[in-house]
Structure 1
Amino acid sequence: MFKKIKRMLILLLVILAEAGPTAACSSSCPSSCDCNNIGLFSVPQDLPKTITNLNLRDNLIATLSQSDFFRYSSLTSLYLSNNVISVINSGTFNLETLTHLKIDSNELTSVRSDMFVGLVNLQYIDLGKNLIASLPANSFVGLKKLLYLGLDHNDIHSIEPGTFSATPQLRTLNLQSNRISAVPADVFVNMTELQNLYNNSTRSFLCSKHKPENFHINDTNNSPDNSPDNSPDN
């Protein structure tokens, strides 16, 4: 009898250990789930389907796949800062309601044209503090409603023509602390709403043609004060 009880207790401990991380963040649901800093290696799949805000900051997630957010189709805000994300597979963000996305402080080395497909209502994205080296054409295809794009503190040294052509509503572009020495002459084509550019190498942008009306270049080290962060409290 004692051995049977002991086996049951061990089994229960194993189950609790496996369910612990998601059980801890499930307590903050159903509309907003705070799964911050609980040692997750992947996106939990046992949270309420109706959640609108999901905080996955400060975990150990390395790869994002198509099935990760499939069940959370009502998300409006998603926070993935301070993980170790190096791979975002095509179709990961098929989230039509999402407006805010933070993937800063990760290990992304590139931006692909299929990386953000499905984010038709996204207004804010932060990709700062990654390892991105270049921005190819059509990097942000489909993000027609994007207002803020953060690419600061990367290793960007080149921007190809057409990089921002799919973001006509963009108002603020943060490129601080990169290695940009020159930009294509037509880099600002179709960016009629752009008002603020944060960049340490002002000279590389002054020669660009098609600069939008009321365009302002800020070459200080200060981050934008009016960034629509809306991040959850830590």
Structure 2
Amino acid sequence: MALNVIIYIHLLGLTVTGVYGCCDLRFDGDVTGAKCRECGLDAVPQDLPANVIKLDLSNNKIALLQTKSFTSMPNIQSLKLDSNGMKNISVGAFDGLVNLQYLSLRVTGVYGCFVVRFVGDVTGVTYRGCGLVAVPQDLPVNVTKLDLSNNDVTTL
């Protein structure tokens, strides 16, 4: 990914934002976010800053998540992979994300959604519009937010 950096500094709030390739970066104190929506990505970018804690890769072309796709960003707490037309998630794709608290795999289209092996202390999961008829049974025990909207689940 080519490095195109444009940085803006807001002196009162000490907010720094910039563009890294197609990704919009946000540095707000210790909080770092990367919004890489609609960038045409076919894989997880490996050259983003390691201190990213919020990563949005929605609306790209990531059809396959390889094993250890996120090892270059071990601090991710919130991960969105919505609407990528994903066909496969390799075992161990999320290995190393011990701080992951929220994962969104909302996928529109014929591929449905994937139930994944969770790592870390995930507390929020979105399976919106996945064609599910039952609640996934292997959710982490500490999930406090579960979005099953636009599915066919009739009982909990």
TM-score by length of 1: 0.50
Distance (Å, rounded) in 1 between the aligned partners of 2:70 and 2:99: 12
State whether structure 2 residue 34 is matched by structure 1 residue 82: no
Structure with greater proportional strand content: 2
Structure number with greater Rg is 1
Segments of 5+ residues of structure 1 without an aligned counterpart are 1-17, 44-50, 179-199, 206-234
Is contact 1:128-1:154 (8 Å) kept? yes
Structure with greater proportional helix content: 1
**Deviation by residue 1:176-211 (Cα, 9 ceiling, x = unmatched):** 223xxxxxxxxxxxxxxxxxxxxx4223x3xxxxxx
Is contact 1:110-1:132 (8 Å) kept? no
Identify the residue that residue 6 of structure 1 maps to in structure 2.
Answer: none
Identify the residue that residue 202 of structure 1 maps to in structure 2.
Answer: 154
Is contact 1:62-1:86 (8 Å) kept? yes
Identify the residue that residue 6 of structure 2 maps to in structure 1.
Answer: 27
The higher-RCO structure (CA 8 Å, 6+ apart) is: 2
Closer, same or farther in 2 for the Cα pair 1:123/1:169, shift >3 Å? same
Identify the residue that residue 227 of structure 1 maps to in structure 2.
Answer: none
What is the Cα deviation at residue 134 of structure 1? 5.2
Closer, same or farther in 2 for the Cα pair 1:123/1:133, shift >3 Å? closer
State whether structure 2 residue 40 is matched by structure 1 residue 60: yes
**Deviation by residue 1:98-130 (Cα, 9 ceiling, x = unmatched):** 111111121113444412111110111111134
Closer, same or farther in 2 for the Cα pair 1:153/1:109, shift >3 Å? farther
State the percentage of identical aligned residues: 20
Per the alignment, in what secondary structure is the counterpart of residue 63 of structure 1? coil
Among 166, 173, 194, the alignment partner of 2:146 is 173
Closer, same or farther in 2 for the Cα pair 1:133/1:147, shift >3 Å? closer
What is the Cα deviation at residue 148 of structure 1? 0.8
Distance (Å, rounded) in 2 between the aligned partners of 1:34 and 1:84: 20
Is contact 2:113-2:127 (8 Å) kept? no
Equivalent positions of 1:133-172 (< 5 A) are 133=113, 135=115, 139-143=116-120, 145-156=121-132, 161=137, 163-164=138-139, 167-172=140-145
Is contact 1:32-1:54 (8 Å) kept? no
Segments of 5+ residues of structure 2 without an aligned counterpart are 10-15, 24-30
Equivalent positions of 1:103-122 (< 5 A) are 103-122=81-100
Closer, same or farther in 2 for the Cα pair 1:61/1:70, shift >3 Å? closer
